[in-house]
Amino acid sequence: MSESAGIQQGSPAIGAAGSVPAAPGAGGTEGSGATVGSARIAVKKAQLRSSPRPKKLEKLGVYSSCKAEGACKCNGWKSQNPPPTPPRTDQQPNTVNLLDPCRSCCHTLGDHVTHLENVSEEEMNRLLGIVLDVEYLYTCVHKEEDADTKQVYFSLFKLLRKCILQMGKPVVEAQESPPFEKPSIEQGVNNFVQYKFSHLPSKERQTIVELAKMFLNQINYWQLETPSQRRQRAPADDAAGYKVNYTRWLCYCNVPQFCDSLPRYETTQIFGRTLLRSVFTVLRKQLLEQARQEKDKLPPEKRTLILTHFPKFLSMLEEEVYGHSSPIWSQDFLAGSSGGQIPIHTVISAPPVARPQYYSTSPLPVDLSSCGSVSPARKASSALEPSPGGEKRKPSEPLSHEETKKPRIVGDIPLELINEVMATITDPASMLGPETNLLSAHSARDEAARLEERRGVIEFHVIGNSLNQKPNKRILMWLVGLQNVFSHQLPRMPKEYITRLVFDPKHKTLSLIKDGRVIGGICFRMFPSQGFTEIVFCAVTSNEQVKGYGTHLMNHLKEYHIKHDILNFLTYADEYAIGYFKKQGFSKDIKVPKAKYVGYIKDYEGATLMGCELNPSIPYTEFSVIIKKQKEIIKKLIERKQAQIRKVYPGLSCFKEGVRQIPIESIPGIRETGWKPVGRGKELKDPDQLYSTLKTILQHVKSHQNAWPFMEPVKKTEAPGYYQVIRFPMDLKTMSERLKSRYYTTRKLFMADMQRIFTNCREYNLPESEYYKCANLLEKFFYTKIKEAGLIEKLDKA
């Protein structure tokens, strides 16, 4: 292997921090030495590939077995006069002669390269690239000190050596091939951006995308610790699992950056959450130190982005990386409410090889608030639900929604116009840290609380007692504080009862912390198997009420439950709490089937059962901000429309002439304002189009969760006297048969039959019955679908 000496001068020192290909133990980003080393190898390959063909044959002959007769066992031609090491600059290159004998077997160079006589230049250049990679890895093997890394280098060296002999393409043999985990890191960060920031305006969302790109770039060129160094730093971690990922990273990501004959993959595209967890803490720490050292070297436009915005971005991402139930790592992330998968459009792509950028990180404060009344409740269940000793909540995490996949409704404003208007709106609440001293009289109830959260004045934590973990002094102090708040604000509730539930491991409490002390909270118990959570106590200390804490507290609780796939709240509210819960979206119309909660919660005397159904598409903690922005958009659109129709028309004189009534559309200028007749449905003239539209609507109705009572005709045995009360029965099965026979020649016939189903149900059943509620919900859904289809333009139904 005398030829390997020729590459040593251009090879980076293996084993030093920032070196290549593996930088064992470096645990950092590549420095400029890595780029220089890679460039030198590329230059050598270009020089060799431009050499005369005999020179190329000589180079390949070194790695080609002898083909002479007599079964020669020589595995590579060796020159009689090897070049000096290091090579002399004044020495003239030797002329290559295919008749030169081998120093080992005495057969000629031509006998070693007979298999290359008819090989194309392209294939020969490919083999020469592998040759230089072999020589580079040979140097790495001898210089590397870490045993695990050396073993990988040696395996890759043998693989490439074999490829030259067999003229094959290198393929790393392993039990698994990339990608090794789904979703990948890149997809997870994409999901994170969609999950947290999809509600932001395009300009602010682009800032987040830039931060995400920088983060992905860091990981793609991050040097992992060797398994031995990781064992010394974190002996309790999964050493075997990390070693597997480290080996994969060397083979598929790190070494191929410099040995380009090996297939190369981006780290963020073939690894997932497991690898990210193993490097995130160290990555964050080192980037923070690097940013502090190099902050004066950063360009002004990057300084604010890196030193101010990125720490908050990274803190929010950290919870999703280490959280046990983060939705961004789910294969079904962004699944639609109907169960269909919504395609995720990639918003981030890792950039090409470039000089890494540095930024710092810092923890983000978290908050929650609650104001006003209280809600007593009673729990009863035997299911044990372990509660974490202290689960810290982070800032708002609005769920993303694919706007482009929503069905377009007649009358919708074009998205291009919306985007144009949004660009003219100056929003006082900036993306990452709005600071407003004066709040408008029309501000949302939770706006002051949201600003306090972002300034770090208040924070919140989901906490609970635990029988399995070592008691945490701070958490126990908070639980005692919550017990005091609930006892003081709920004087009619026995203190022993409050204490038992607050400290019960089956219960959790969303606690509101201000200046290190508890000022409020919501105690609740989750029933995942039943699909609901019961709210037990909800209170804020009296001197902190009327500040929007109650609304903000409940909004955070809603987002917490959306993350845990529980979309229904139940609570027993006393007369003082009903108003508060109505403002938070609760009503007496319980969506949870009675069979689901009977036996799990106990009726509370003197209180009213209320429920709230959560919408997973709503970012509750930012909802008022979104509504405010929508109002601004509508206001701007109205102003634009008014500017377009400044023309003043003369007054109507027809009434002076005795006319009592005129059509609205005859008023001069009325149509120019955008007015059009309402309440009139679009009658489809084409029978096939009508049939197709009605069939689609009927299928949606039959698939609805509340359609089950109306699927078939009512049986006399199940509802005695039904047909004496209901003279004209109707059901979805009969409607399907009528639709198939083309009975519905107009939309009005179809709508009349559907309306008859709901009217019959309400006439026969009591208002508090489950059938009555199903009819109301399905009716609302039906008219929504009718409107989406453009068959009516104004809903007369509530």
Catalytic annotation, residues: 534
The reply, when asked if residue 354 is annotated as ligand binding, is no
CA distance 394 to 318: 10
Nearest Cα to Cα of residue 136 among 223, 309, 319, 6: 6
The reply, when asked if residue 323 is annotated as ligand binding, is no
**Helix and strand element counts for the chain (H, E):** 26, 7
The reply, when asked if residue 272 is annotated as ligand binding, is no
Q: Crossing angle for the helix pair 273-294 and 310-322, nearest 10 degrees?
A: 160
The reply, when asked if residue 659 is annotated as ligand binding, is no
The reply, when asked if residue 547 is annotated as ligand binding, is yes
What are phi and psi for residue 380, nearest 5 degrees? -160, 110
3-state DSSP assignment of residue 3: helix
Chain position carrying tokens 């509660």: 387
What are phi and psi for residue 783, nearest 5 degrees? -70, -25
Spatial contact of 14 and 94, defined as CB atoms under 8 Å apart: no
Which segments of 13-58 are extended strands (E)? none
3-state DSSP assignment of residue 344: coil
The reply, when asked if residue 578 is annotated as ligand binding, is yes
Nearest Cα to Cα of residue 418 among 626, 633, 631, 204: 633
The reply, when asked if residue 540 is annotated as ligand binding, is yes
Strand partners of residue 392: 461
The reply, when asked if residue 775 is annotated as ligand binding, is no
The reply, when asked if residue 625 is annotated as ligand binding, is no
CA distance 213 to 290: 18
Residues 6+ apart with CB under 8 A from 607: 376, 377, 572, 573, 574
C-alpha dihedral over 356, 358, 363, 366, to 10 degrees?
Answer: -70
Supply 476's token pair.
């126990």
The reply, when asked if residue 780 is annotated as ligand binding, is no
CA distance 166 to 73: 16
CA distance 353 to 571: 56
Supply 796's token pair.
């007369």
The reply, when asked if residue 16 is annotated as ligand binding, is no
3-state DSSP assignment of residue 226: coil
Residues 6+ apart with CB under 8 A from 426: none
CA distance 233 to 715: 72
The reply, when asked if residue 464 is annotated as ligand binding, is no
The reply, when asked if residue 595 is annotated as ligand binding, is no
The reply, when asked if residue 658 is annotated as ligand binding, is no
Separation of CA 586 from chain center = 29
Binding residue ranges for acetyl-CoA: 538-540, 545-551, 576-579
Binding residue ranges: 538-540, 545-551, 576-579
